[in-house]
Structure 1
Amino acid sequence: MNQKNSFSKLMAALLVVFVFTSCQATGQQNRNLKVYESSEQMLAAAKEVITEITVEDFKNTYTQADIFIIDVRTAGEHKSGAIPGAVNIPRGVLEFKIDMPGIWENTGKNPPQKDDRIFVYCSTGGRGALSAKALMQLGYENVQSLQGGFGAWNAAYPNIRE
């Protein structure tokens, strides 16, 4: 009986290992998730699919009434200075708040439509690039990220800020 009991325990253990590894493998195969080695690699992948705009090109368009400017920095960063007309929607909540009317009420605009021109920026460009990609994944078709972020804007135009 001791041999039979040991054999049963061994078979049960092998079954558990098989099921566990099968579930893991199946989970990996069923997910269509790109895994990156680092945040730098993730950022590089985002920059392959988004459009970045230079500070100079952005300055020529930022005052147009038909564009949406989103500052994806934290509220504290935004309060320390921002591009005029920018609405602060921090990166961590962007996908959830982009279409909320209350966010846009101070601009006199309704939330952006999928084909509206949207510019996003952060401090140096990384969060802006990831934000642009996220908005594109939500179906926004005309999104651009400010190359170099607010740091580049402030260096080029220190007197043009809120």
Structure 2
Amino acid sequence: MPLKMKKTVQQMVDEASAEIETVPVADAIKLVGQPGVTFIDIRDPRELWRDGSIPGAINVTRGMLEMWIDPESPYAKDYFQSGNKFIFFCAGAWRSALATKTAQDMGLMPVAHLEGGLGAWKKAGGPVAKVEPKK
């Protein structure tokens, strides 16, 4: 018998989306390369290598997000202390909605996520940079 969940992933995404800012793709495309805006790609590196990424985006895998945001963590990343606006994205906007909500709950501000993820970005003709595995 399948396990009965208290909440489905869809419910969690819907709840997160109700509490976070969502940036429409057309608006986000205009923000690429702008000072004070950092795109955070939370996909797995294999997805980046296969599908590319938004130019200039920083890859922060979902599994390390909280540790890299928290300035008291031994894994903290300086760029999260920059005061920039962070726009999180993934392939289809589920993981990024949850990641954005987590970042917001931790106190990282301002944060938003990309409507529709990289799939919608590509469909809208947004620029995509090739990502090579690190050697």
What TM-score comes out, normalization by structure 1 length? 0.68
Helix, strand or coil at the partner of 2:65: helix
User: Quick check: 1:116–1:140 contact (8 Å CA) kept in 2?
Assistant: no
Q: 1:118 aligns with which of 61, 81, 86?
A: 86
User: Quick check: 1:36–1:42 contact (8 Å CA) kept in 2?
Assistant: no
The percentage of counterpart residues that share the same residue type is 31
Q: 1:45 aligns with which of 9, 15, 18?
A: 15
Superposition pairs for residues 1-162 of structure 1, below 5 Å? 36-80=6-50, 81-98=52-69, 100-101=76-77, 110-113=78-81, 115-157=83-125, 160-162=127-129
Distance 1:51 1:63 in 2: 20
Q: What's the CA shift for 1:37?
A: 2.3
After superposition, the C-alpha distances for 1:47-105 in whole angstroms (9 at most, x for unaligned) are 1100101110001112102211100000111122000010111112111123534xxxx
Unpaired runs of at least 5, structure 2? 130-135
Q: What's the CA shift for 1:141?
A: 1.8
Q: Specify whether residues 140 and 114 from structure 1 end up closer, same or farther in structure 2 by C-alpha distance, changes over 3 A only.
A: farther
What TM-score comes out, normalization by structure 2 length? 0.81
Q: Which has the larger radius of gyration?
A: 1
User: Quick check: 2:68–2:80 contact (8 Å CA) kept in 1?
Assistant: no
After superposition, the C-alpha distances for 1:32-56 in whole angstroms (9 at most, x for unaligned) are xxx8421111111101100101110
Q: Which has the higher helix share?
A: 1
Q: Specify whether residues 145 and 36 from structure 1 end up closer, same or farther in structure 2 by C-alpha distance, changes over 3 A only.
A: farther
